[in-house]
Amino acid sequence: MKLALIAHDKKKEDLIRFVTAYKDIFEQHELYATGTTGKMISEEVSLGIHRFKSGPLGGDQEIGAMIANNQMDMIIFFRDPLTAQPHEPDVTALIRLSDVYNVPLATNMGTAEVLIHGLKNGYMSWRDIARGQGKTNGK
């Protein structure tokens, strides 16, 4: 599965702790992240990760393009709801795209934990079907 990891500045340390706690699950998947977040995860958790530009410089939109092309399976985006973000329209667009294309999106640690356990337990297999890689009706 292809997983996107994004965090606003005040939430980056929380995301790093989360990825560290579930490293055994994350290392089994293709990871993508916006610039600074990806760099921090790569350095602190030692996971291979494809880095896009930082969010304000278009990284959110690059992940959005993957969603629109059915190439992203899950997004974990630790948002900071208490700080205004200069690229809020990009954040809103990313969330809208995840809804349009039925890509699971966690915006906080509680929801992320539910999604990561679902991933571990095989509850994301429907994404293979959505990408045309799975079998349906015994075919």
Looking up residue 46, the CATH number of its domain turns out to be 3.40.50.1380
Is the residue at 27 inside a domain? yes
Share of the chain above pLDDT 70, in %: 95
pLDDT score of 136: 47
- 3-class SS at 85? coil
Is 73 considered catalytic here? no
- How many domains does the chain contain in total? 1
Is the residue at 136 inside a domain? no
Is the residue at 100 inside a domain? yes
Is the residue at 70 inside a domain? yes
Q: Does 126 or 35 have the greater pLDDT score?
A: 35
pLDDT score of 50: 97
Catalytic residue among 9, 60, 73, 99: 60
Per-residue pLDDT band at 88 (split at 50, 70, 90): confident
Instruction: Give yes or no for residue 130 having a pLDDT over 70.
Output: yes
The whole domain housing 62 covers: 2-130
Token representation of residue 136: 């349906």
Mean pLDDT of 45-72: 93
- Of 59, 70, 69, whose CA–CA distance to 32 is shortest? 59
Is the residue at 24 inside a domain? yes
Contact 29, 3 (CB under 8 A): yes
pTM across the whole model: 0.90
Is the residue at 94 inside a domain? yes
Please calculate the CA angle 10-35-22 and round it to the nearest 5 degrees.
65
Cβ neighbours of residue 31 closer than 8 Å, sequence gap 6 or more: 3, 5, 38, 41, 47, 48, 49, 50
